């Protein structure tokens, strides 16, 4: 039986199977939720648990995950992403 690749949640730093995490990609329009885990570009993973989703607003965490400066991110992008993630979980 083939094992699933493991990924680390950028919020709690816990490791889980890739299929059990939500993937966020930095695209041309900002941060985007990648439901299919197939979009091109640097991705970051987050647990779909209420504990991790409630702590997603930390801009420095996302800046580190995408290797960009925190000033390049907008809080409204992160809030929009959080709402979308809550709807899908």
pLDDT tens sequence across 35-78: 888 999 889 999 988 888 888 888 888 889 988 887 777 777 77
Percentage of residues of the chain with pLDDT beyond 70:
98
Report phi then psi at 62, rounded to 5. Answer: -70, -40
Q: What is the pLDDT of residue 12?
A: 94
Pairing type for strands 15-17 and 30-34 reads: unpaired
Tens of pLDDT, residues 5-35 = 999 999 999 999 998 899 999 877 788 889 8
Helix crossing, 59-66 with 75-88: angle to 10°? 90
Q: What is the pLDDT of residue 9?
A: 95
Instruction: Walk me through the domains of the chain, giving residue ranges and CATH numbers.
Output: 6-88 (3.30.1230.10)
């Amino acid at each position: 039986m083939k094992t699933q690749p493991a990924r680390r949640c950028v919020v709690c730093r816990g490791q889980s199977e890739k299929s059990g995490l939500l993937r966020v990609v930095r695209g041309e329009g900002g941060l985007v939720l990648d439901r299919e885990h197939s979009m091109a570009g640097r991705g970051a993973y987050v647990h779909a648990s209420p504990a991790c989703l409630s702590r997603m607003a930390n801009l420095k965490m996302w800046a580190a995950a995408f290797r960009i400066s925190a000033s390049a991110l907008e809080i409204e992008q992160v809030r929009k992403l959080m709402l979308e993630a809550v709807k899908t979980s």
